[in-house]
A and B are shown apart, each in its own frame.
Chain A
C-alpha cells in the first residue's frame, strides 16, 4: 500500500499536464501510485532507436530531453520534450521498437509510468485515447537539426504554400493559393488530419464529387474539436467537425475588400470558387495570413501617406497605423527582418517629414538656413534598424565644418532644427530620451571635427561612461542629409579602433557582463528583488549580450555598413568562416528575441522588456533555452578570441 501523501504529491505534479488533467481523481491516483521517479544527468541516453520498448512511458517533470532520429549516420533532432511532455509512448499504438533515441539535454527529473497502466487508461478513458490519437495524427514532429535549421524550416513552411503574389501595385489583388487541398466529407477525422500533415497545410476543404465546397477544417478545429469529443476519430466522418457552409468569394478581391470581409465575418479562411458561390467548383483559398502579408508586401501605402502629410498633426495617426500593422504582422508570424524593415521605413519617413516641417517652420520664423551640409543620425536601436515598438528616441546632428564666421549661426540653426524635429517625434509617440541623447542637446549637435574628437576620446580612454555611449553612438545611422559625412565619421572610427586594440578588448569584456541564465527550473531565470522580481529581463539578459557581441565583431572586422544586429551577424558569418555557424545562429536568436519582446510589449502596453516566464508557452521556453545556449557559446568564443581571462578588473 503506497503512501498517500507521496502519491498525492505525484498526482499534483501530473495534474499540471494534459492529458492527466482530464483524469478522475481515482484514475490519477492509481496511475500516480505506480510512478517511478528517475533522475538523469545531461547527456544520458534513456533509450536508443531500434531498442525493444521498455515497459514504461516517460513524462518530463523537470528539465528537457531531446529525441533524435538517425539519418545517414547522423543524429537529427526531431523533437524536444520539456516539462509536461510525454515520450516513448508511440509503441503503445504501433507495438514497435523505439523510432528515435532519447538523450537528456539538461539534468532532468522524469516520471516513468508502467506501460500496462497506460494501456488500461487508454482503453477505459476515450478522452485519453483521443489525446494520443490526435497527437499522432498530427504527424511526426518536424525534423529540426539545430536552431538555424529549425528556423529555416519554419520560414520555408511559412512562405512556401501560400506566398501571395501581387498582381498590380494599385489594386493590390491577392492571388489565391491554387493547389487547395480537398477531400470528401465522408473520410474519417484521422484521415483528414493525416492528409493535412502530409501535405503540410493548415486547412482542408470538404468538397462534393464535382468539387463544390461543403465545409472546411483548420488546424484550430483539430486542436479544439477533436480533443474535446469523446468518440473514435478513426470512425467518425470529418463532416461532423467541419465548419459549414464555407464562405465563398470570387477571385478578384483586393486587399481592402478582404480586410473588410474578414472584420465583418470574423472568419479567417475564404474559399475562392469559379463564380463566387458555393454552387461552383473550388479554385483557390485565401487565408488571413495571405491577406495580412499581402498588405505587408506593400507598406508603401502607409509611407506614401506619411510623405503626403500636410501638417505635423497628420503624422501621429499614421504612426498608430504602423503599430496596428505591427500587431497583425506579429500575429501572422511574419518574418522579423521584414517587420523591422517596414517599421524602420515608416520611422525614417516620419523623420524625413518632421525634418521638412521643421525646415519650413524655421524659414517662416525668419531663420536663414546656413550653407553648411548636415546629416541627421539615428542612434541606438533606431540606428540599428531594430526598433519595433516605440522606445525612447536617440538621435544627433552632424554637420560639416563651418567657416569661423558661419560657426555661430550654424550652431544656432541646427540646434533649433533638432529641437523642432525631436518635438515632432515626441508628438508621434517617441518618448524623450532620459539621458538626453537627442539632437536638441547642444552636446550632440556638433560639427564633424567635434564628433571625431568625441569618438577618439571614447576609443583611447575607455571608461564606463564611454561604454554606455558605445551602445548608443557606435550604432549611428544616417537618416537624412549628407550621408558622406556619416561615412567619413565611420571611416575615422574604424581607423582609430584598429590603432587602439585595447578598445576592442574593452568592449568585448563589456559584452560578457550578462551571462545568460541556464535554467533547470523555470523560476531560476528571473530577476531577484526590485520592481521586476520574478520576471525575466529579456533585454539585458538575452538581447544585449548578442547585440554587444555583434557590435564588437563588426568594429573589429572593420565593417563599414550601417547594419542591424541580425545583418551584422550575417556579415560576420560571411567574413569570418570560423564564426559562421555561431553567427548565423545568433542572427536567428536575435530575431526571435525581438519577436518575443515586441509581442510581450504589445500585450502589456509597455516596452516588453520584462517577461513573466509563466506566460511563455512551451515552444517559447524551449526556444529561449536554445538561445541561452547560443549566447553562452558566443561568450565562450569571446573569452578565447579576445583572451579576456587575462584581463582583470
Chain B
C-alpha cells in the first residue's frame, strides 16, 4: 500500500503537481529506514495535535506541537509549534480544553502552510505520539484534502510502547482502561505535568515519557528500530 502511495506521490512531484516542500518530504521517504538502524541513531519527532473535536472525518486540526529526540536526548532547539486558522470554528466544547481563543487563531498560519512546514520538519524521522492513531488519522485527512497524500513516516504509539516495555511483546493480558493514559504513565514514571492540553506542552511531556521508555528498552536489549515498530 505504502509503496504505491509513495510511487503515486513521486509521479505527481515529477509532473510539478505538488509544492516543492512536500516533494522534499516525499523524496526523504523514498526508502524506509532500515530495520537494523540503532535507536540511538534515529531522529524521533514526538508530537501532539489539538483538534476541534474527536471525529476525524469532520473535525480539523487547530494546532500542532512537536519536539525531536536524537541520541535519546530531547532537543529543545529542534522543536516545532504552529497554530492553524480554521474557517469552520469547531465544536464549542473542545475550546475550553485547549484554551486556544479565536483571537489567537487569527494570528495563525493557513492550514496548508502549517501542513507544509510540519512535513518538512518531520521528513526522514520516526513519529511518536500518545494514542498516535488518532493524530495520524486526522493528519492524513488534512493531507488528503490538500495534497492527496498520507504520512509516510513510521509511527510509534507511546501507550503501546509502554505496554510492550512493561509487559513484554506477547502480553495478551487485558489492561485496565486508563492504565496507559498519559496522566497515569506520567505518574508512574514520575514526570511532572505542566502545560497539559496545549499541543507543544503535551508533546514535551510525551517526549520525556518516551525518553525514559527508550532507556528501559535499551536495558531490555531492544536496540534497533525493527524491534519496536
- B124 interfacial contact with A, CB 8 Å: no
B208 and A39 form a contact (CB under 8 A): yes
A111: nearest residue on chain B (CB-CB)? B76
B73 contact from A4, A10, A32, A38, Cβ within 8 A: A38
B73 and A2 form a contact (CB under 8 A): no
B81 and A36 form a contact (CB under 8 A): no
B78 and A2 form a contact (CB under 8 A): yes
Between B72, B199, B200, the greatest number of chain A beta carbons within 10 A of the residue's beta carbon is seen for: B200
A523: nearest residue on chain B (CB-CB)? B192
Q: How many residues of B contact A (CB 8 A)?
A: 29
1/0 per residue, CB under 8 A from A, across B191-229: the answer is: 010110011110110011001100100010000000000
Q: How far is the CB of B127 from chain A (nearest CB, A)?
A: 16
- A37 interfacial contact with B, CB 8 Å: yes
1/0 per residue, CB under 8 A from B, across A516-550: the answer is: 00001100100000000000000000000000000
1/0 per residue, CB under 8 A from A, across B174-192: the answer is: 0000000000000000101
B residues near A12, Cβ cutoff 8 Å = 194
B205: nearest residue on chain A (CB-CB)? A9
B residues near A9, Cβ cutoff 8 Å = 194-195, 201, 204
A39 and B72 form a contact (CB under 8 A): yes
Take A9-B201, A520-B190 as given contacts and tell me if A112 and B81 are in contact as well, using a CB distance cutoff of 8 Å: no
A3 and B66 form a contact (CB under 8 A): yes
B76: nearest residue on chain A (CB-CB)? A35
Task: Name the interface residues of A22-70: CB closer than 8 Å to any CB of B.
Answer: 32-39, 41
A34 and B212 form a contact (CB under 8 A): no
B77 contact from A33, A41, A521, Cβ within 8 A: A33
B204 and A34 form a contact (CB under 8 A): no
B76 and A33 form a contact (CB under 8 A): yes
B76 contact from A37, A41, A521, A524, Cβ within 8 A: A37
Take A35-B76, A520-B190 as given contacts and tell me if A6 and B212 are in contact as well, using a CB distance cutoff of 8 Å: no
Take A3-B66, A6-B65 as given contacts and tell me if A112 and B73 are in contact as well, using a CB distance cutoff of 8 Å: yes
Q: How far is the CB of B183 from chain A (nearest CB, A)?
A: 16
* Distance of A177 Cα from B190 Cα, bound (Å): 52
* Distance of A386 Cα from B199 Cα, bound (Å): 56
A519: nearest residue on chain B (CB-CB)? B190
A residues near B159, Cβ cutoff 8 Å = none
Instruction: Identify 16 new A-B residue pairs, CB closer than 8 A, beyond the known A2-B77, A9-B195.
Output: A3-B204, A4-B81, A4-B200, A5-B65, A5-B200, A6-B204, A9-B194, A9-B204, A33-B76, A33-B77, A35-B76, A38-B72, A41-B215, A41-B219, A520-B190, A521-B192
A-B contacts, 29 of them at CB < 8 A, read A2-B79, A3-B79, A3-B80, A4-B81, A5-B65, A5-B195, A5-B200, A6-B65, A6-B67, A6-B76, A6-B79, A6-B200, A6-B203, A7-B79, A9-B194, A32-B76, A33-B76, A34-B77, A35-B77, A37-B73, A37-B208, A37-B211, A38-B72, A38-B74, A39-B72, A41-B219, A109-B208, A520-B190, A521-B190
Q: Closest 5 A-B residue pairs measured CB to CB? A: A3-B81, A5-B200, A37-B74, A3-B79, A3-B200
